Amino acid sequence: MSYLKRAWAETHLDRIKTNVENFRKFLNPKTELLCVVKANCYGNGDDAIVPYLEKNLNVNWFAVSNIEEAKHLRDIGIKGEILILGYTPPEYAKELVKYDIIQTVTEESHALELSKFCPIGNRIRIHCALDTGMTRIGVCENTTKKTCDAVERISNLKGLELEGIFTHLAVADSDNNDDVNYTRKQIEKITAAAEELKKRLVVLNQIHFLNSAGGIYHSTDKSTLARLGIIMYGLKPNSSLKVPFKLEPVLDFKACVSMVKEVDKDVFISYGRTYKTESPAKIATITVGYADGYPRYLSNKGEVLINGKRARIVGRVCMDQIMCDVTGIDVKTGDVATLIGADGDEVITADDIADIGSTIGYEVICNISRRVPRVIYENGKQIDVLKY
């Protein structure tokens, strides 16, 4: 299980286990986990993580973004329920049936088209999205009655099997009073719709609205599933809001030192001459760049860890390389630079990197490119390498 030790990511399955177990403690016993594994498990490696979740952690529900991701899970042997969270063109109805995938209905017109394309004698399993305030996808009506009218019509369409409804909480990761009230109103809207549909004898196996933040800040037995996403990978839904248990970041990102050189004062480094040494310095070149998903906004701002010490990035991040000031650090060619992760007493998280770029940790780990191999570890032992 060798790999090119240029730039690589390390995914730690035991850390996933810790995060999942801690999250489960906040859920009502009636609420089941639905693990969000879209985008290659947020860049962590779905080929390793999803089978581990199913076989080792007894997870039976998985959420993906699109039909290609869903088919891939079936191809690697996943037996559990797979829900596509977004739109699938109706021409793929046959594949939804073939692979036993649950499709989200994004609006009533989408349901009508899926019904038309469903193979004769089959039924497409669906969950109907309700727009309760995210304004992204879902049945969008201004009253509970009108919402339920639309869902009821969808439930009666030929070739469709309505199994659940769901919505997405827009600001569950905020403790601002207005946002907390907004979340409460979203929950009230979907639970009111569920109660009304029950009165109309529309059978719903699942009503779900809890996401990672919802599960820890707004847990309730009224959500039959909790969609565990970013917390499973060890990052905060909101970097400024405390999570009530210690998160274990699942992914470490590393690269090699390829050259160490001494330079004089007033020497320019990298493209654009954006950095000039103020005194003689020792500069290390490291084999990672924005083509690997290492953000260019870290130019002259970010840091890496080398032999337990912090080293500042100097000059612009290049496509395949960065330069760091390692003055005063014992470093040589071949040493490992930690871009995300711990080295000694020092730690850099994806959230730390995100804060520099005014973005979120989700984006940082999702953007690690597919040319970066994912090296899979369990309890400190390397067990696999995923190469794309």
Per-residue pLDDT, 1: 83
CB 70 within 8 A of CB 95: no
Q: Which CATH superfamily is domain 251-386 in?
A: Lyase, Ornithine Decarboxylase; Chain A, domain 1 (2.40.37.10)
Name the helix (H) or strand (E) containing 258.
strand 251-263
| Residues 204-226 pLDDT 10s | 999 999 999 999 999 999 999 99
| Residues 39-62 pLDDT 10s | 999 999 999 999 999 999 999 999
Closest CA to 250 of 6, 1, 46, 61: 46
Closest CA to 187 of 146, 217, 154: 217
- For the chain, give every domain's residue range: 31-233, 251-386
**Residues belonging to the active site:** 38, 271
Q: Give the C-alpha separation, 130 to 140, whole Å.
A: 6
Q: How far is CA 241 from the centre of its chain?
A: 18
Query: Could you tell me the two tokens for 250?
Result: 């699942």
**Could you tell me the fold of the domain covering 31-233?**
TIM Barrel (3.20.20)
| Residues 330-373 pLDDT 10s | 999 999 999 999 999 999 999 999 999 999 999 999 999 999 99
Per-residue pLDDT, 305: 98
pTM over 0.85: yes
